[in-house]
Structure 1
Amino acid sequence: MPDARPAGKTTPFWWEEAPPAPLPAQPLARTADVVIVGAGYTGLTAGMTLARAGRAVTILDKMLPGEGASTRNGGITSGNIRPGFDELTRKYGETRALAIEAEGKEARAFTYDFIRSEGIDCDLQMTGRFSGVIGRAQYEAGARSAEKLAKSLGIESYAVPQAEQRAYIGSDFYRGGSVRMDIGGLHPAKYHAGILRLALAAGVSLHSGTAVTSVARDGAGFTVTTSAGTISARQVLVCTNGHTDGSDPWLRRRLVPIRSRIIVTEPLPPELMQSLMPRRMMYSEGMILGCYYRPTPDGTRILLGGRDASQSGDAQWPIEMLRQNMLRIFPELAGTGLSHTWFGNVAMNRDMMPRIFEHDGITYATGFCGSGVVWAPWFGTRAAQRLMGDTAQRSAFDFRPPAFIPFYAGKPYFMPPLISLYRVQDRLALARAQR
């Protein structure tokens, strides 16, 4: 029987070394060149870029800086696009599908160069990622995609047949998989702390615990009303992603906040870690509700994350579901305790694509669909360039705003039945794969 002991802490494992903290209180400026809503990766990177170019920038966040997704994620530099390459090709054609993948390659390279050039200490480890598959059709599709990425974009990627997978993962659950070597892992809270340091050093004025209640047109600019007063801005950038609230009802109808939960094991014996994760890679799997997992940066624990179907409170059953998922991959962990479990919001939209767009003069960088470690700083930088009038570089993600969701105003009423449907589809796919 699985160990049903509760996890020790319900705060992120990452906060042990880099907890979010309030900033010293300061008066809210009456005017700014740019007001940015949200002090996560996106807002801070945009603010830093703008401030270094001489703009007066004010960033507002109703929580502590980084308290949301930026310090709650798994720290994998996947830069995933939810539609796979085959689906992207069907929807947009192969040329644009390759352009989307190419921009992902560029965004990852930007991430690594940014960390190194700016001296951010965030435990970056370029380990590669193994993606496990559950059937032959998935394996063949993954092999085709890996070959296409290698030939067209020069990404080191290749298929791993089932007979060879134990060199990458100590599990017999999968039917092979694929590897991408341009993906690694980092400490997300240390990463955020590093970007925060850079933004403040650039001269950004940052106000935590300051909720934005409305943004209204005011001549050629905007009046931003907050819990600390009003501020006039020439431009406004919204980077709220999974924490978008009722202050922007237009955006709220287009982004669905979905809980994602992570569990972390207690420290494991070195020989067990070597057996289960011989290359200390990042990991994902080919199921609709599949998990992602990785070793912690010090290589002593396993961190595993996935969807949390709860919508309020802090229920125990999502923790047990993740524990069961961990045991189907690594039955050797039966009886292993959990040191941490927590959840946070990711922001999905109808076509599952991140983007920069405008509405009524406001610029938005959002909709990262659970892959914000790479996409959020990338789009934050691109959004800043856009606000400064740099339109020389067009993005493959120049999509129109995401479509609204009928009868939706912030509470994802449709998610419990949808997740139940996905679970059934995953079970059927597993049953077919085992025949």
Structure 2
Amino acid sequence: MSAENTTLKCTPYWWEAAPVSPVPEVPLEKRVDVAIIGAGYAGLTAGLTLARAGRSVAIYDKQHPGEGASSRNGGITSGNIRLDHATLVKKFGQERADAITLEGKDARQHLYDMITAEGIDCDFAQVGRFGGALGTEDYERMARHAEHLERNLGIESYAVPQAEQHKYIGTDFFRGGSVRMDIGGLHPAKFIAELLRVAQAAGVVVHSDTAVEGIDQEASGFTVRTARGQVQAQQVLICTNGYTDGATPWLRRRIVPVRSRIIATEPLPPELMDKLMPRRMMLNDTRTLGFYFRPSPDGTRILFGGRDGTSLEDPTKPVAYLRRNLLDLFPELEPFAISHTWYGKVAMHRDMIPRIFEKKGMLYATGFCGSGVVWAPWIGRKAAQKILGNTNEAPSAFDFQPPAAIPFYNGKPWFMPFFMMKYRMDDRAKMRRAGR
């Protein structure tokens, strides 16, 4: 076989089985209890929670439901927090840092329970995740963290020395790693389609291809101005994340959209998949600009993703970059072509913690920092509970002050090439220290 592929598809592999599509158009409501901006994981989960509590809910999205990151991501239920625990303590204090760590376990379990309880067919499998260490320093840190998860949180997690890593991944690239078994994989486009189905069945009205152009606060609530007309709402919940636009300029100064790109191989021989991914786990590594990768749900392909620091529409360079790093791990893939490539926008911000916050009477649930498969449904649900105000559950540890604005930034991340260059230099230095 040749690695050349003249029929490279630049649409998500996930859309082959679950294409995104608009919902049938219905007239706009004159008034609703809660207007939600954004029909992704967070918005739909919030709408479902509110509708089942008796609120009238309408969701507005400028694209098709889930057309953004919700149907484009890697489908790994990682629930990562970008900051390590020591940094969390330094920034937010010991109490909140501990609460954030503990809530991650609840968030992940909530996702799994929802998939089961709602009968959501999304190819979910709790197969665990192997994280590969670049060097011995990373390995020792990962081993300590695995011990902490097992001892203090009751999460099955353990270190994997280099001599045993071939049981988990067919490469000599890493110097060992660690496993945590509370992580799995799902089909993100199937998940958002099923979540839409469940939300609509509960009475949530979803308006696709209906851009919100502005929101005005009034004495009786809010006027939501859309491309199709105005709606009065008692409360507004904004869940736009990486696709935040000029409709909410205050939020746009705080949220940085960053491209995350994925490539998918053509179908691979079963014996090769058995060698490279013997346990069909989710996988990642310890680079600053790390990569995440996994088998496709049917076990026939490898999907490999990472940050795309370009603003190019031509995918040639970013695809070549990802493929080169994929081959560093698995040289056996050299003869096989890449069948699909696509990107979605994740939402980064200065604090790097998913967040619920209020501003001028509006509630926000956003800033998932590339781990929205777990955090978006959880933060959306917690935001809905805050609106309801009658829950017996404890407040979320992620409900506090909004992230700070970014100086000289108004939606166009002009500074990203500089950060990407710095992070790549840091990773090269780490590789050198690891003897690469």
Q: Same fold (TM over 0.5)?
A: yes
Contact 1:11 1:342 in 2 (8 A): yes
Question: Which residue of 2 is the match for residue 286 of structure 1?
Answer: 286
In 2: Cα distance, 1:335 partner to 1:399 partner: 51
1:114-129 aligned within 5 A: 114-129=114-129
Secondary structure, counterpart of 1:199 in structure 2? helix
For structure 2, the 5+ residue unaligned runs are none
Residue aligning to 1:324: 324
Going from structure 1 to structure 2, the CA distance change for 1:93 and 1:4 (only over 3 Å counts) comes to: farther
* TM-aligned CA deviation for residue 390 of structure 1: 3.4
**What code does the residue aligned with 1:330 have?**
F
Whichever residue aligns with residue 118 of structure 1, its letter is E
Match of 2:414 in 1: 413
How many Å separate the matches in 2 of 1:428 and 1:382?
Answer: 41
Q: 1:188 to 1:380 in 2, by over 3 A?
A: same
Measured against aligned partners, the alpha-carbon deviations of 1:92-136 in whole angstroms (never above 9, x if no partner) come to 455433321211111111011100010000001110000001111
What secondary structure does 1:341 align onto?
Answer: strand
Alpha-carbon contact 1:7-1:337 (below 8 Å) kept: no
Question: How many residues get paired?
Answer: 434
Deviations 1:271-309 (A, max 9, x none): 000000010000010001110000000001000100011
**CA distance, structure 1, for counterparts of residue 95 and residue 57 of structure 2:** 38
> Could you give the per-residue CA deviations for residues 155-180 of structure 1, whole angstroms, max 9, x where no partner exists?
00111111111111001001111110
- Which residue of 2 is the match for residue 397 of structure 1? 398
For residue 426 of structure 2, what is the aligned residue in structure 1? 425
2:38 aligns with 38
* 1:148-297 superposed matches below 5 A: 148-297=148-297
Name the CA distance, whole Å, in 1 between partners of 2:7 and 2:136.
36
Superposition RMSD on alpha carbons, in Å?
1.3
Per the TM alignment, residue 247 of structure 1 is displaced from its structure 2 partner at its CA by 1.1
State the TM-score, normalized to the length of structure 2: 0.97
2:385 partner letter: Q
SS in 2 for 1:82: coil
Q: Determine the structure 1 residue equivalent to 2:130.
A: 130
Shift of 1:398: 2.3
Q: 1:365-420 CA deviation, whole Å, 9 max, x = no partner?
A: 00000100011111111111111113651222123101000000000000011101
Structure 2 SS opposite 1:74: coil
Q: Is this contact kept in 1: 2:223–2:232, CA < 8 A?
A: yes
Structure 1: distance between partners of 2:54 and 2:351: 36
**Preserved contact between residue 7 and residue 338 of structure 1 (Cα < 8 Å):** no
Match of 1:385, SS?
helix
Report the TM-score when normalising by structure 1. 0.97
| Cα distance change of structure 1 residues 254 and 330 upon mapping to structure 2, 3 Å threshold | same
CA 1:87–1:176 in structure 2 vs 1: closer, same or farther (change >3 Å)?
farther
Unaligned runs of 5+ in 1: none
| Seq. identity, % | 62
- Deviation of the 1:6 alpha carbon: 5.3
